[in-house]
Amino acid sequence: MTRIKVMVVDDSAVVRQVVSSLLQADPAIEVLCAVGDPLQAMARMATQWPDVIVLDIEMPRMDGITFLKKIMAERPTPVVICSTLTEKGAQTSLAALSAGAVAIITKPKLGLKQFLTDASDDLLSAVKSAARARVGQLRPMPRHSADAVLPAVDAAGAMIRTTDRVVALGTSTGGTQALERVLTRLPRVCPGIVIVQHMPEKFTAEFAHRLDGLCQIDVHEAQHNERVIPGLALIAPGGRHMLLRRNGAQYHVEVRDGPLVNRHRPSVDVLFRSVAACAGANALGVIMTGMGDDGAAGLLEMRQAGARTLAQDEASCVVFGMPKVAIERGGVERTVPLDAIAREIMQVSLHAP
């Protein structure tokens, strides 16, 4: 079996040592080298190119974002970001995801060695998932208004028809770019949207803020008891589950702690199950690019409750894991390309359940 060739780029000698040891202990992985900055990495890549790069952001001589952009321009390669869990780190790591990185592993400022050892399963899963990812799949979208997708909808009529409508999106690896492609295409009269994107704590607030600046619709990190209304997308906070609740004719979200579900918190299955229970045929469920099977069971429950259900197609996924399992389990009504998902969301607002 051909092993996954990995390069570690980090200015911390401790990180290089610990990460290399953890990766090398897996028989499916070979660590080509561990270097202290991008210039050293480029010198080594001149003779042997890795399958996956584990990359820090803040480094001497060249920062990780600049290095990542050079890689993606020259030869797109799966990159796993290993970043400090701070607000500043969240911003730069999101910039890395936007530039094409496929996953984030967070590292604290203190207790680093023990943390990385404890997080070894996540690190190994991220590297193996990255090795299967089709990087470069999502190229920058041309800057068009929503008119390029569909004509404007009468605001008053749309609000009446979509009062009880909810769209639930679930995604993981590759989802940051995919969600941007979808949400930036939506007009302000779209149905209320609830989203689970697998992402660490502290990253979701910055991710939502970034999307809010790009989209016509409002995008927030969800707050407990916040209303789900047309023209608003709520993103589940990292490290907490998000559920849909109904009070009369109004929907709101519940944000709560709880155990990991399918090794995730927030979990797509938790959100989809709550949508099945509260919204039923008034909902649309969409499962998008990502590794694993989170969301497959919940999407099936949504379909059984009368909801419309979609999966992003294989050709447009960075990792065709979550959609594939959902299809196999019977939860998917149709598969559609990424660039058709916004149009499908708007169709929900135009037809009665």
In which band, very low, low, confident or very high, does the pLDDT at 71 lie, cut at 50, 70 and 90?
A: confident
| Active-site annotation holder among 56, 164, 269, 294 | 294
Judged by average pLDDT, the poorest of 47-56, 111-120, 324-333 is 111-120
- Tell me what the mean pLDDT of segment 8-19 comes to: 89
- Tell me what the mean pLDDT of segment 142-165 comes to: 36
Higher pLDDT pick, 161 / 41 = 41
Question: Is-catalytic flag, 154?
Answer: no
| Active-site annotation holder among 198, 241, 252, 264 | 198
Question: Is-catalytic flag, 198?
Answer: yes
- What's the pTM value of the predicted model, to 2 decimals? 0.72
Question: pLDDT tens for residues 268-311?
Answer: 999 999 999 999 999 999 999 988 899 999 999 999 999 999 99
Contacts of 254 (CB under 8 A, 6+ apart): 224, 225, 242, 243, 244, 245, 274
| Active-site annotation holder among 20, 129, 172, 316 | 172
- The reported pLDDT for the residue numbered 102 is 86
Higher pLDDT pick, 180 / 352 = 180
- The reported pLDDT for the residue numbered 115 is 65
pLDDT, mean over the chain: 84
Of residues 41, 175, 201, 45, the one with CA closest to residue 102: 175
In which band, very low, low, confident or very high, does the pLDDT at 116 lie, cut at 50, 70 and 90?
A: low
Question: Is-catalytic flag, 294?
Answer: yes
Question: What is the DSSP annotation of 36-69?
Answer: SSHHHHHHHHTT---SEEEE-SS-SSS-HHHHHH
Domains delineated in the chain = 4-132 (3.40.50.2300), 146-350 (3.40.50.180)
- The reported pLDDT for the residue numbered 319 is 85
